[in-house]
Amino acid sequence: MKKMDLSKARVLTGVKPTEAPHVGNYIGAIRPAIELAAQAAESYLFIADYHALNIIRDAKELKDYTYLVAASWLALGLDPSRTVFYRQSDIPEIFEITTILSAVTPKGLMNRAHAYKAATDKNKEAGKTGNDVDLGINMGLYTYPILMAADILAPRGTVVPVGKDQIQHVEMTRDIAGSFNHLFGDVLALPDFYVQESTGLLPGIDGQKMSKSYGNHVPVFMDSKQRRKLVMKIVTDSKQPDEPKDPDDSIIYQLYCHFATDAEKAEMRRGFEEGGMGYGDAKKLLFEAIERDLEEPSKLYNELLADRPKIDKWLEEGAEKARETAQKTLHDMRHVIGLS
Ligand code: ADP
Ligand code: TRP
């Protein structure tokens, strides 16, 4: 893990309300971000609903995912009395700041953004675009990094925890803020990205990296019976219970390590190495450990989803606080560019 002094940091991150989290997201991103928020002087977490609009074209779906993501984070430990928790769309200053930043952002910088390049590469590979490599790509995807820069710069986030795929966007934020400051004076705070290295990637039930795109994921919030069925489907070799096995080769053991106590881990390890631990028993232990870890959050999640006004209240209170800083940033930016 990269060492960083968080005692003065304003940790800030955003989540797109596009998918329900899986246990890989929980262990690899949500839990570390919540732990980081607890150590930081200040923390901001927001739901990036205008980023999701690039993908979601259904009003009910966007609304439902917003509550689902909010309830997931709250149920998994986000404390709205410590962390400023809000919807991106409730902070209008972000969008005015996006317009200002667009004027100092080179188009070529956007051409180099990974997500845009991946989309044009896909078009080129498909070979059916004629001369139009931009087929089906909207401006929201193209200018995504500018909106993300405004998200970070408006409330003056200084440390931005992200997955590796988002590092480039934080670097672009620094470039864009640097251009603005160079042209108009030192108004914007340059953020640092923060990548949690130590967790490692959780495997999915087929052994590849757990990912929604591979369909091998175990959702964080789901019916217990369904979860048991999923855990029972984890791929294994055909070794018999009494045969010795390498625990580090086992998907079951790798997942178990994230949910079991040290003593439980040692016991499964010994069982595998010495023989005597069959895959069926190991899956049962894994299922029980996951259930234990998620029992309380699941209850809370269901309660929260049944009480949307409560979620709204927290998000509105958070937006009020986030707007105070965003208004100040926008005011300073307008002043130095010559607008009253
Ligand atoms: P997916 O691959 O399912 O689409 P995302 O790319 O949306 O997941 O992941 C969001 C964040 O969750 C990532 O940036 C990463 O930090 C974390 N994450 C995703 N999959 C895993 C995994 N299998 N193990 C650990 N962390 C993961
Ligand atoms: N782009 C991020 C993602 O796809 C979400 C996001 C939007 C974000 N704005 C942000 C993350 C600002 C950190 C800071 O996961």
Q: What DSSP state is assigned to residue 340? A: -
Residue closest by Cα to atom 16 of ligand 1: 163
C-alpha distance across the termini of the chain, in Å: 44
Query: pLDDT tens digit string along 159-179?
Result: 999 988 899 999 999 999 999
Say which residue, 335 or 196, is predicted with more confidence.
335
**4-13, 261-270, 322-331: the lowest-pLDDT one:** 4-13
Query: pLDDT tens digit string along 233-292?
Result: 999 999 999 999 999 999 999 999 999 999 999 999 999 999 999 999 999 999 999 999
The rounded Å distance from CA 207 to ligand 1 centre is 15
Closest by CA position to 29, among listed 199, 210, 156: 199
* The pLDDT value given to residue 2: 52
- Could you tell which of 10, 13, 86, 168 is best to mutate to test the pocket of ligand 2, judged by most ligand atoms within 8 Å of the CB? 13
The rounded Å distance from CA 29 to ligand 1 centre is 7
Say which residue, 1 or 159, is predicted with more confidence.
159
Q: Is 85 helix (H, G, I), strand (E, B) or coil?
A: strand
* The pLDDT value given to residue 68: 97
**Residue 1, pLDDT above cutoff 50:** no
Query: pLDDT tens digit string along 75-104?
Result: 999 999 999 999 999 999 999 999 999 999
**Residue 201: band (very low, low, confident or very high) from pLDDT cuts 50, 70, 90:** confident
* The pLDDT value given to residue 63: 97
Ligand nearest to the CA of 214: 1
User: Packing angle between helix 262-274 and helix 279-305, nearest 10 degrees?
Assistant: 150
The rounded Å distance from CA 160 to ligand 2 centre is 9
* The pLDDT value given to residue 199: 67
Mean pLDDT of the chain: 95
Residues with CB under 6 A from ligand 1: 24-25, 27-29, 163, 165, 199, 201-202, 209-213
Closest by CA position to 12, among listed 114, 123, 130, 160: 160
**Residue 129: band (very low, low, confident or very high) from pLDDT cuts 50, 70, 90:** low
Residue closest by Cα to atom 11 of ligand 2: 14
Ligand nearest to the CA of 88: 2
* The pLDDT value given to residue 193: 95
Percent pLDDT > 90 in the chain is 90
**Residue 200, pLDDT above cutoff 80:** no
Domains annotated on the chain, with CATH: 10-202+308-337 (3.40.50.620), 221-300 (1.10.240.10)
Closest by CA position to 155, among listed 93, 96, 100: 93
Percent pLDDT > 70 in the chain is 98
> Which ligand 1 atom is the nearest neighbour of the CA of 16?
7
**Residue 126, pLDDT above cutoff 90:** no
Residue closest by Cα to atom 8 of ligand 1: 211
Mean pLDDT of 43-65: 97
Residue 140's CB: how many other CB atoms inside 10 A? 14
**Residue 187, pLDDT above cutoff 70:** yes
The rounded Å distance from CA 308 to ligand 2 centre is 24
Residue closest by Cα to atom 4 of ligand 2: 16
Mean pLDDT of 98-115: 97
**Residue 220, pLDDT above cutoff 60:** yes
The rounded Å distance from CA 295 to ligand 2 centre is 29
* Angle, vertex CA 57, rays to CA 55 and CA 63, nearest 5: 95
